[in-house]
Amino acid sequence: AQMFAFTGQNEAMRIGERNILASHKVLQELRIPVVAEHTGGSFGRTIEFSCNGGALEVRTIGHGTFII
């Protein structure tokens, strides 16, 4: 989530994008496929994974709830 807005952001301030790329790299190295994702934007998320059904619930701040 973006807590502060800056004009002309440099690469060091793009933390979310770097986290996404790093996560994808590690998952690829471990041969874990990414079948869905809910990333980007400037709002927070909370996730809850159902071990029984395999569903991932993504609750967002001001943008609804999604099941992936």
Give per-residue pLDDT as tens, 29-56.
999 999 999 998 888 999 999 999 999 9
Q: Is residue 6 part of a domain?
A: no
The answer to whether 41 touches 63, Cβ cutoff 8 Å, is yes
pTM above 0.85, yes or no: no
Q: Is residue 4 part of a domain?
A: no
What order of strands is seen across the sheet that includes strand 65-67? Answer: 45-49, 56-60, 65-67
Chain position carrying tokens 């793009």 = 14
Strand partners, 56: 49
Q: Is residue 2 part of a domain?
A: no
Q: Is residue 15 part of a domain?
A: yes
Q: Is residue 35 part of a domain?
A: yes
Q: Is residue 58 part of a domain?
A: yes
Give per-residue pLDDT as tens, 10-24.
666 688 899 999 999
Q: Is residue 62 part of a domain?
A: yes
Strand ranges (DSSP E) for the chain? 45-49, 56-60, 65-67
Q: Is residue 19 part of a domain?
A: yes
